[in-house]
Chains A and B, each alone.
Chain A
């Protein structure tokens, strides 16, 4: 019961982080209009920040699989 509760809390935290990442993607923090500096290894700003956000979302997905109903044996499927 305790483990389930803490997993739920972790899942909510991960979801909140994913939502925040998505929201900041649509702000000038990631897509400043007409600005491509600072560059990272020559890569324009929007591209490298977008890349980091994508990687972060995949990492959050991985962490999500560890806490969201990950150990359920009896479940659906066709």
Chain B
């Protein structure tokens, strides 16, 4: 396997280097560096959006979700993604029109301008920071765990984490967003290929689709329906998840940026359709991988505590039970999946920071680059603190940022002078959500999940803000 890791690893690093050098432009402007000249075509657009969206969370988290909670995982992610791409058709048009009026220096900067209130931007930035950093951290850790499994006694997991973050910083520093987009294209294709190869291997071990579900029926029948063996997949969980996922293009700046930098409305629209198709293609093999874990790893996982089961499942399915070449490809694919999402999020945080800085272009670029470095460092530290629950952490990340959805949408859509109350309410919502995660306040109120309740309340506040706002005269 090590031979193949070396071959695929070198090929991958070579392609990343090529992407960086191809994107490098002497004397580039901040716009070139941060927004790739806003000229991304359909194919690159699909792959960069998909790579930023489907990360380690899809690669590892989804098979684990299918393994633990069953077929409802499809509703959780695939149906929600279907709703999200439909939403992009409408939202993409609205935001691009707004960007045409105001310009684009990150979501936080733009919303500050919409409200004429810098605290709107600060609240959005704080939320992005608080919920993206842990998500980035867990991705780095996910890769590091695999590298340690592939190269035991070589360097510790934190060493791999430092290496991964360094590679990411180097190529994003050389090529800016354009390099990230090119590397995303490589990573998106790799992710899809690897998941299908391993998925088909798993399916073949069952002897086909029907045989797979027959076997799972015998092993754990609760996995074939909702709410699943642990009772996670309730209608309320699905509704809250769908809202959080549909809000991703609005509230996760790395994805909003990708809608904005598309060359034209037509390419942005086609990208939405293709991302929907990509979602179906990329999630399907994760079912086979998850079900493989249910039936073929029963004995291996039986005596382990839940927290250790996921790691063992990943190592067994992706590395130890695959031919050396496939295992090596899986490892490189995993690095690719983690890197693409990590760099997209860290870079987006830099982009958001940029929108809040009141200095000249050169100073802004310098501070943004320092900011990107610091965000990467914080994510790196965080990656050593949390070591499991990839899918749930991703969901918390989506839910946390989704709380800013009503405020952002109101800012983009409204033609009225809106009161600052929605900003205060969104900040308060963020604090309450954090307290509920910490267990200080309850996670449900009158049987309603806190994330869902907060989103509904903020939506009502946004609607009230719009109805009571004064129409701005042209």
Contact = CB atoms under 8 A, between A and B. Distances in A.
A16 to B, nearest CB: 12
Given A58-B280, A72-B265, A46 B242 contact: no
Interface in A9-57: 15, 18, 22, 25-27, 30-36, 39, 41-47, 50-51, 53-57
Contact of B89 (A56, A61, A75): A61
Interface in B230-245: 233, 235, 238-239, 242
Given A70-B266, A78-B35, A44 B82 contact: no
B354 interface: no
Nearest to A45: B225
B440 to A, nearest CB: 30
B272 A26 contact: no
B75 A46 contact: yes
A33 B228 CA distance: 9
B106 to A, nearest CB: 10
Given A26-B235, A32-B225, A78 B86 contact: no
B99 interface: yes
B250 to A, nearest CB: 16
A58 B71 contact: no
Contact of B83 (A18, A32, A36, A47): A18
A77 B101 contact: no
A3 to B, nearest CB: 17
A54 B79 contact: yes
Interface stretch (B10-18, B208-216, B310-318): B208-216
Contact of B273 (A46, A58, A72): A58
B93 A68 contact: yes
Contacts of A32: 225-226
Nearest to B279: A54
A54 B280 contact: yes
B213 A31 contact: no
Interface residue SS majority, chain B: helix
Contacts of B104: 78
B78 A50 contact: yes
Contacts of A45: 225
Nearest to A51: B74
Contacts of A43: 209-210, 213
Interface string B62-103: 000000000110110011011101101110010111111101
B294 to A, nearest CB: 13
A8 to B, nearest CB: 12
B227 A54 contact: no
B209 A42 contact: yes
Given A65-B89, A65-B269, A36 B79 contact: no
Contacts of B95: 76
Interface in B192-225: 209-214, 217, 221-222, 224-225
Contacts of B221: 36
Contacts of A53: 79, 82
A55 B269 CA distance: 17
A31 B235 CA distance: 8
Given A41-B209, A65-B89, A69-B93, A77 B260 contact: yes
B238 A31 contact: yes
A24 B379 CA distance: 39
B293 interface: no
B169 interface: no
B388 interface: no
A54 B261 CA distance: 27
A31 B276 CA distance: 22
Nearest to B85: A61
25 contacts: A22-B79, A22-B83, A31-B225, A31-B235, A32-B226, A34-B225, A36-B225, A43-B209, A46-B224, A50-B75, A51-B78, A54-B78, A57-B79, A61-B82, A62-B273, A65-B269, A69-B265, A70-B265, A75-B96, A76-B95, A76-B96, A76-B100, A76-B101, A76-B260, A78-B261
Q: Top 10 closest A-B pairs, CB basis? A: A76-B100, A42-B210, A57-B82, A58-B276, A65-B269, A36-B224, A76-B96, A78-B104, A44-B224, A76-B99
